[in-house]
Amino acid sequence: MSTVGRTRAEHAYLELRQRIIDMRLPPGAALDEEALMAELGVGRTPMREAVKRLESDRMLTVCQRRGTIVADVNIRDLKAISDARRVLESFAARRAAELATDEDRQRLKECLRQLAATAEESNRTSMDLDEQIHRTVYAVMRNSYVEATLIQYFSLSQRMWNFVLPGLAPITGHVREHEALLQAIIDGDADRAADLAEEHVTPFEGLVRSAL
């Protein structure tokens, strides 16, 4: 992602968040802030702002004696995250179906085309497409407050995916569940879109739970 237009604190936040999500900074790892400041080209104040945001996102834990630690992946958090996502993803899909413009529908159809082109892709590629689809639906929903909350919960879910990814069978089928959801939004069928979005979260919870 381009750094153009970012503040240094935003740059540090996004870079660290991605490293936590993709396991380059694994659960329980101590954050070497000095090394990261040098690597990312930011000062102490932007780094501290980034750390505070990530602590609020529940991705970092600041301990008085141990310093800043990457938060554990805990199965007890899985149900709470999934419960929140079921409600919010359903709302987002409903609103997207109600508000989608012709331009939005073209973006959604492009997601459908990419799904149709997937065969037995790697889990990593499938996850990237999954994220793209969710982000597109969030944008079409046009509620920046709900979108920000959804991105936070989706990021926590992504982190759980990455934690268990080596032990998972191919997840292409899980991602292709989005075909019906995207079509419902394109068709303006708000009730069906909401139901499908809610139903999509439950298999994720089961897959992660079985692998943790």
Are 98 and 122 part of one and the same domain? yes
Are 139 and 159 part of one and the same domain? yes
Are 24 and 113 part of one and the same domain? no
Are 173 and 86 part of one and the same domain? yes
Are 125 and 26 part of one and the same domain? no
List Cβ neighbours of 9 (8 Å cut-off, separation of 6 or more): 42, 45, 46, 49, 50
Are 38 and 107 part of one and the same domain? no
Residue 1 lies in a domain: no
Are 34 and 84 part of one and the same domain? no
Residue 3 lies in a domain: no
Residue 2 lies in a domain: no
Q: Which of 37, 70, 103 is the last residue of a domain?
A: 70
* Dist CA 153 CA 181 (whole Å): 19
What CATH number did the domain enclosing 136 receive? 1.20.120.530
Q: At what angle do helices 33-40 and 44-56 cross, to 10 degrees?
A: 110
Residues 60-84: tens digit of each pLDDT? 999 888 899 999 998 889 999 999 9
Q: Which of 70, 99, 118 is the last residue of a domain?
A: 70
- Predicted local confidence at residue 66, as pLDDT: 84
Global confidence as pTM: 0.86
What CATH number did the domain enclosing 56 receive? 1.10.10.10
Buried b (16+ CB within 10 A) or exposed e, 174-208: bbeebeebbbbbbeebbebbbbbbbebbeebbebb
Classify residue 47 as exposed, middle or buried by CB count within 10 Å of its CB (0-12, 13-18, 19+).
buried
Residue 177 lies in a domain: yes
Nearest to 130 by CA among 107, 154, 153: 154
- Predicted local confidence at residue 118, as pLDDT: 72
Instruction: Give the residue numbers spanning the domain of 41.
Output: 8-70
* Dist CA 165 CA 169 (whole Å): 8
* Dist CA 58 CA 174 (whole Å): 26
* Dist CA 73 CA 55 (whole Å): 14
Q: Which of 70, 87, 121 is the last residue of a domain?
A: 70
> Which parts of the chain have pLDDT scores under 70?
1-5, 119-124, 167-174
Number of domains in the chain: 2
Residue 98 lies in a domain: yes
Residue 127 lies in a domain: yes
Are 56 and 100 part of one and the same domain? no
Are 88 and 121 part of one and the same domain? yes
Residue 131 lies in a domain: yes
Are 172 and 187 part of one and the same domain? yes
